[in-house]
Amino acid sequence: MATVVLVGTLDTKGEEYAWMRERLREQGCDVLLVDTGVLPPPPSAPTADVTADSVARAAGHDLTRLRAAEDRGAAVAAMAEGVERVVQDLYARGELHAVLAAAGSGGSAIAARAMRALPLGVPKVLVSTMAGGDVSPYVGSSDLTLMYSVVDVAGINSVSSRVLGNATAAAAGMARHHERALAAPGRDGRKVVAATMFGVTTPAVDAARARLAELGYEVLVFHATGAGGRAVEKLAADKVLDGVLDLTTTELADELVGGVLSAGPDRLTAAGAAGIPQVVAPGALDMVNFGPRETVPERFADRTLLVHNPTVTLMRTTAEEMAALGAETGRKLAAASGPTEVFWPLRGVSAVDAPDGPFEDPAADAAGLGALRAALDGTGVPLHEIDAHLNDASFAQAAADRLHALITARA
């Protein structure tokens, strides 16, 4: 029987969780109730299968001390850390087929952290009062499903019963599906490679993807818009991937300069930490991304700008910024524990960084390459300087072939 793990603060949401537990049982699921509340639950609250004390201890904290402390934020963080470890342990033991929670801001932060820690494909449903706004802090790069609670999670009424009823039905259905998927045969035997792509690097990724498909790989393509890069990092950290063809590292430029498509400071680190073979290129490092032209910060008024479309404005990176990006790329790749190589195209790094293109700047590209070369010197990470444009099929296919060789050598 599929098991749904209910994660909630029973000190404030006991009535709602008791109701959801009964609905899940009616749907034919086993239920494990995990209490993440810091304060003692009232006598009317349902009995938890995993108590708040156990959650706190899972993270090395003492619940009594958390209750006595005046720092509620620290207590919430401690319980979030604990429940993350609890659900990971339940999943590892085969006792979790879906996670469901209903909460306000604090409870959402606790439950979402636990959900984000679970692998891709494990069902995660969060009903939250916060789902009507910016939900990126809760979702991150996970496949978490958010539902807006409409009314506060404060009792069972004509509205909350519909919303929570839909959520329990969804979680139950997902759990049964996931349980069947776990019992079914695995994937078709093909190795899985992640590839990163932007509009201005599409020809390269298309050529590389075709080559890798010929070689028998399943290729997952990610749009390098911040969320895409974070998704690659998450899958690499979860060791879902057999290789990474990181042809489009443009998100590093947004992180450095302050564009809107940063994937965060940890971009380009997970594959290396997990020992996954990777081939990396400077695709679209020539640009920083902003929204409509009027949203570009005034401090960049004298920079080379290109209106890509009405909602996207690109800014050319300078020689100084390219040098910083080359050095950062080299530093991160030098720390990799697995096979790592870099391919640098000498004739341009994007569709607009080409002869007579609006972002053509050989000096800036050379600054990036020089800094990268210096950062990799003596590290053992090979740097291939290819006399081609990034979008040339010859460049893309060479990078794909090299990744295949790295993966094959580890088999």
Per-residue pLDDT of the chain (411 residues; tens, 9 = 90+): 899 999 999 999 999 999 999 999 999 999 999 999 999 999 999 999 999 999 999 999 999 999 888 788 899 999 999 999 999 999 999 999 999 999 999 999 999 999 999 988 999 999 999 998 889 889 988 899 999 999 999 999 999 999 999 999 999 999 999 999 887 655 567 999 999 999 999 999 999 999 999 999 999 999 999 999 999 999 999 888 999 999 999 999 999 999 999 999 999 999 999 999 999 999 999 999 999 999 999 999 999 999 999 999 999 999 999 999 999 999 999 999 999 999 999 999 999 999 999 999 999 999 999 999 999 999 999 999 999 999 999 999 999 999 999 999 987
Give the pLDDT score at 148. 96
* Residues 152, 186: Cα–Cα separation, whole Å: 41
Give the pLDDT score at 189. 78
- Helices 105-116 and 72-92: crossing angle in degrees, nearest 10, is 30
CATH H superfamily, domain 192-410 = Uncharacterised protein family UPF0261, NC domain (3.40.50.12030)
* DSSP output for 346-402: TT-SBTTBSTT-TT--HHHHHHHHHHHHHHHTTTS--EEEESS-TTSHHHHHHHHHH
Give the pLDDT score at 216. 96
Give the pLDDT score at 185. 56
Q: Report if pTM > 0.85.
A: no
Q: φ, ψ for residue 347 (rounded to 5)?
A: -115, 20
Enumerate residues 6+ apart whose C-beta is below 8 A from 164: 16, 19, 20, 23, 102, 127, 156
Residues 31, 25 contacting (CB under 8 angstroms) = yes
Q: Give the torsion through C-alpha atoms of 74, 80, 82, 88, to 10 deg.
A: -160
* Residues 23, 200: Cα–Cα separation, whole Å: 49
Q: Give the torsion through C-alpha atoms of 99, 179, 121, 405, to 10 deg.
A: 150
- Give just the sign of the alpha carbon dihedral 50, 52, 57, 60: positive
Domain ranges of the chain: 3-181, 192-410
304-308 LR contacts (CB < 8 Å, sep 24+):
304/358, 304/359, 306/352, 306/358, 306/359, 308/199
| 3-state secondary structure (DSSP) of residue 337 | coil
Q: How many other CB atoms are found less than 10 A from the CB of residue 177?
A: 14
Residue with tokens 């072939």: 401
Give the pLDDT score at 132. 85
* Residues 369, 385: Cα–Cα separation, whole Å: 9
Give the pLDDT score at 120. 87
Give the pLDDT score at 182. 83
Give the pLDDT score at 141. 83
Whether 192-410 and 3-181 are alike in CATH topology: the answer is yes
* Residues 161, 180: Cα–Cα separation, whole Å: 28
Does domain 3-181 fall under CATH 3.30.565.10? My reply is: no
